[in-house]
């Protein structure tokens, strides 16, 4: 599949070559652990053991690389497995990382409770301000980590500006692109060194698989990551890889519809008397709106808002949902609602990443926008 093709075409065809044996137009689920060798070391397709490589996973990995404009994609058992592999590839005891003050709670927990035990230190900085990130660098810094839009506050960071800060300091810029997906934003083209995904979310898109990915452009780093992926072993299984590859085929049309519905939801909420603040980068009053408009094709499907009346009022709104499903996660075709303070971000309580207690987060799905607005109106009473 040539890189000349447009995103929509690559999403459907990259990595999806017809099965050489049968002509099946979709890569089969190679549910297999090992491969017959024609004489010792005589591998037929380069495959010897499915932790190292599996044809269904290879199809997904080629697709991921094409969509992010990278030279290599790697698929993992979850987003956090991808992050763990990346961090233990890039970092050694004594190294330092700058992490954002707004990030997925599990990412923060990985730094604070796991990686820090191995002698890696981190500082928290407001990544929507490149000068604040620059100020947080130390001589030991190896990585700047950023998530944009961020979870759950929908903060926007200027990837190009942060890539400049990283390059000047000789450190690597990692971008968690889960909220945007490569259809809306391509961090490698803006100067990032590594893209991270929880493919559980928009890439899979149907709330039926947990997975993660890393995409890079640098061949040497790609080799190191491939080595660690195999050495650490948290790979995506064949069926999971197949589900993500299947989901990606409709990513472009889904993201258009997610963005359209979320724009309508954000507009309605910003005029609702019970809502004190709406966090959506598509709103002109959002502090990151201009940056988002510059680096994103549309503003995505995630909307957060604060409810008048504090924590209990916010919880009450969530509990009244009918069409929106009360649940964690995001990025599926069905709309979800949650209370980050008590659900996804409970692990950030008491830290610099604690979220407001009156915050509600929506993953706006691709149902009828009218039906979604009606449900939100009845929830807010
Ligand atoms: C869900 C999520 C992760 C973690 O991914 P898992 O697949 O749940 O391990 C990382 N970053 C962001 C932004 C997420 O939303």
Residue with tokens 């010897």: 48
Q: For a substitution probing ligand 1, which of 80, 211, 244, 362 has the most ligand atoms within 8 Å of its CB?
A: 80
Predicted local distance difference test score (pLDDT) of residue 2: 55
Predicted local distance difference test score (pLDDT) of residue 102: 87
Q: At residue 354, does pLDDT exceed 90?
A: no
Residues 171 and 267 in one domain: no
Predicted local distance difference test score (pLDDT) of residue 3: 59
Predicted local distance difference test score (pLDDT) of residue 352: 76
Instruction: Give 150-172 pLDDT, tens digit per residue.
Output: 999 999 999 999 999 999 999 99
Q: At residue 349, does pLDDT exceed 90?
A: no
Residues 55 and 185 in one domain: yes
**What residues are labeled active site?**
51, 104, 176, 201
- With a 6 Å cutoff on the Cβ, whether 151 touches ligand 1 is yes
Tell me the average pLDDT across 54-63. 97
Question: Distance from the CA of 25 to the center of ligand 1, in angstroms?
Answer: 31
User: By residue range, what is the domain housing residue 234?
Assistant: 7-248
Instruction: Give 100-127 pLDDT, tens digit per residue.
Output: 998 888 999 999 999 999 999 999 999 9
Residues 261 and 244 in one domain: no
| Model confidence band, residue 353 (pLDDT cutoffs 50, 70, 90) | confident
Closest by CA position to 156, among listed 179, 186, 183, 172: 179
The fraction of the chain above a pLDDT of 70, given in percent, is 99
Q: For a substitution probing ligand 1, which of 82, 83, 106, 243 has the most ligand atoms within 8 Å of its CB?
A: 106
Residues 137 and 182 in one domain: yes
Predicted local distance difference test score (pLDDT) of residue 29: 97
Predicted local distance difference test score (pLDDT) of residue 225: 98
Residues 228 and 322 in one domain: no
Report the domain count for the chain.
2
Residues 241 and 271 in one domain: no
Helix, strand, coil in percent for the chain, rounding step 5: 40, 15, 45
Predicted local distance difference test score (pLDDT) of residue 263: 98
Tell me the average pLDDT across 11-28. 92
Predicted local distance difference test score (pLDDT) of residue 345: 85
- Alpha carbons 365 and 242: distance in angstroms, whole number: 22
Q: What would the two tokens of residue 46 be?
A: 């380069």
* Residue 196 CA from chain centroid, whole number: 6
Question: Distance from the CA of 369 to the center of ligand 1, in angstroms?
Answer: 26
145 CB neighbour count, 10 Å cutoff: 25
Question: Distance from the CA of 38 to the center of ligand 1, in angstroms?
Answer: 41
Q: 335: which residues sit within 8 A by CB, 6+ positions away?
A: 323, 324, 325, 362, 363, 364, 365, 367, 372, 375
Residues 159 and 275 in one domain: no
Work out the mean pLDDT of the chain and round it to a whole number. 96
Looking only at the bridges linking them, the beta strands covering 302-307 and 325-326 are unpaired
311 CB neighbour count, 10 Å cutoff: 15
This prediction's pTM: 0.96
Residue with tokens 């005029």: 271
Residues 208 and 283 in one domain: no
For the chain, the farthest-separated pair of C-alpha atoms sits apart, in whole angstroms, at 74
- With a 6 Å cutoff on the Cβ, whether 80 touches ligand 1 is yes
Q: Which of 248, 278, 302 is the last residue of a domain?
A: 248
Residues 24 and 103 in one domain: yes
Q: Report if residue 329 sits inside a domain.
A: yes
Instruction: Give 274-283 pLDDT, tens digit per residue.
Output: 999 999 999 9
Output the CA torsion sign for 275, 354, 201, 191: positive
Q: Is the bond into 43 cis (omega within 30 degrees of 0)?
A: no
Question: Distance from the CA of 21 to the center of ligand 1, in angstroms?
Answer: 36
Instruction: Give 192-248 pLDDT, tens digit per residue.
Output: 999 999 999 999 999 999 999 999 999 999 999 999 999 999 999 999 999 999 999
Q: Report if residue 1 sits inside a domain.
A: no
- With a 6 Å cutoff on the Cβ, whether 198 touches ligand 1 is yes
Residues 339 and 229 in one domain: no
Predicted local distance difference test score (pLDDT) of residue 351: 81
Residues 225 and 364 in one domain: no
- Look up the CATH number of the domain holding residue 334: 3.90.1150.10
Q: Which of 208, 226, 248 is the last residue of a domain?
A: 248
- With a 6 Å cutoff on the Cβ, whether 127 touches ligand 1 is no
């Amino acid at each position: 599949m040539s890189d000349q093709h447009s995103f929509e075409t690559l999403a459907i065809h990259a990595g999806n070559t017809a099965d050489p044996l049968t002509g099946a137009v979709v890569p089969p689920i190679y549910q297999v652990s090992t491969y017959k060798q024609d004489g010792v070391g005589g591998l037929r397709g380069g495959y010897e053991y499915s932790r190292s490589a599996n044809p269904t996973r290879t199809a997904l990995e080629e697709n991921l690389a094409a969509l992010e404009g990278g030279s290599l994609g790697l698929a993992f058992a979850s987003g956090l497995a991808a992050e763990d592999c990346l961090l233990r590839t890039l970092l050694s005891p004594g190294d330092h990382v700058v992490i954002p003050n707004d990030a997925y709670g599990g990412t923060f927990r990985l730094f604070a409770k796991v990686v820090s035990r191995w002698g890696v230190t981190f500082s928290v900085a407001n990544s929507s301000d490149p000068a604040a990130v620059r100020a947080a660098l130390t001589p030991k810094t190896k990585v700047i980590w950023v998530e944009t839009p961020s979870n759950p506050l929908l903060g926007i960071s200027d990837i190009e500006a942060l890539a400049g800060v990283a390059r000047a300091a000789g450190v690597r810029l990692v971008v968690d692109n889960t909220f945007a997906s490569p259809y809306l934003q391509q961090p490698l083209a803006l100067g990032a060194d590594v893209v991270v995904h929880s493919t559980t979310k928009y890439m899979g898109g149907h709330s039926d698989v947990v997975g993660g990915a890393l995409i890079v452009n640098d061949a040497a780093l790609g080799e190191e990551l491939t080595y660690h992926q195999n050495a650490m072993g948290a790979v995506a299984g064949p069926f999971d890889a197949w589900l993500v590859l299947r989901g990606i085929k409709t990513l472009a049309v889904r993201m258009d519809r997610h963005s359209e519905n979320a724009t309508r939801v954000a507009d309605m909420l910003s005029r609702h008397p019970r809502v004190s603040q709406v966090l959506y980068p598509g709103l002109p009053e959002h502090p990151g709106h201009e940056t988002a408009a510059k680096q994103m094709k549309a503003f995505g499907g995630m909307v957060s808002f604060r409810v008048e009346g504090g924590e209990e009022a916010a919880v009450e709104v969530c509990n009244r949902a009918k069409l929106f499903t009360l649940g964690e996660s995001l990025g599926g075709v069905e709309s979800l609602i949650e209370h980050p303070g008590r659900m996804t971000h409970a692990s950030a309580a008491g830290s610099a990443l604690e979220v407001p207690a009156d915050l509600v987060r929506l993953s706006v799905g691709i149902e009828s926008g009218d039906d979604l607005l009606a449900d939100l109106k009845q929830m807010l009473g």
